[in-house]
């Protein structure tokens, strides 16, 4: 499956809305970079990466039910992690209510909200869009 950058905004919003994920900060344009897997007309999944200084915020991983358990989610996460390494980011954070075990398999660890880097705490997703009940996870990236 091919991964491509910048799927159409309406596709991103449709995917996120269908999964109950926040889209409020996307109305005025994309915050960060989004990638899709599959084909341009009907992508099978999407993921986003916001950069905040030396830190990344992995956001909005969604994979269609037909493509789940086939490696699409893992491929998207690896793609974003490679980009984060290229950008020389130190850590990637994420918030999740449903995919804790999926991200744990990719090396993400639960962390306390108070231990999150300040630039991430100030992001819209962290500060207002995701509920306080969401699990915070992070992964420290290997320096090259």
Query: With contact defined as beta carbons under 8 Å apart, do 119 and 91 qualify?
Result: no
pTM as predicted: 0.90
Neighbours of 13 (CB within 10 A): 14
CATH, domain 3-140, list 3.40.800.10, 3.30.70.20, 3.30.9.10, 3.40.630.30: 3.40.630.30
Backbone angles phi, psi at 52, to 5 degrees: -135, 90
Q: Does an H or E element contain 13, and which?
A: helix 9-18
Tell me, what's the pLDDT at 134?
Answer: 92
For CA atoms 63, 69, 73, 79, the dihedral sign is negative
DSSP-H helix ranges across 87-144: 100-105, 118-121, 124
pLDDT tens figures, 7-64: 788 888 888 888 888 888 776 655 568 999 988 777 889 999 999 999 999 988 999 8
Tell me, what's the pLDDT at 144?
Answer: 54
pLDDT tens figures, 68-78: 888 899 999 99
**What does the block give as tokens for 139?**
């992964």
pLDDT tens figures, 84-97: 999 999 999 999 99
Instruction: Spell out the domain ranges in the chain.
Output: 3-140
């Amino acid at each position: 499956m091919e991964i491509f950058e910048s799927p159409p905004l309406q596709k991103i919003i449709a995917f996120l809305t269908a999964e109950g994920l926040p889209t409020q900060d996307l109305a005025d344009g994309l915050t960060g970079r989004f990638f899709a897997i599959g084909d341009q007309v009907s992508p099978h999944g999407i993921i986003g990466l916001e950069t905040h200084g030396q830190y990344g915020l992995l956001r909005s991983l969604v994979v269609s039910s037909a493509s789940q358990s086939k490696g699409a989610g893992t491929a998207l996460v690896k793609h974003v992690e490679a980009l984060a390494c290229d950008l020389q980011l130190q850590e990637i954070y994420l918030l999740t209510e449903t995919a804790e075990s999926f991200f744990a398999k990719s090396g993400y660890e639960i962390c306390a909200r108070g231990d999150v880097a300040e630039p991430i705490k100030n992001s819209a997703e962290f500060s207002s869009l995701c509920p306080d009940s969401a699990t915070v996870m992070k992964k420290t990236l290997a320096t090259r």
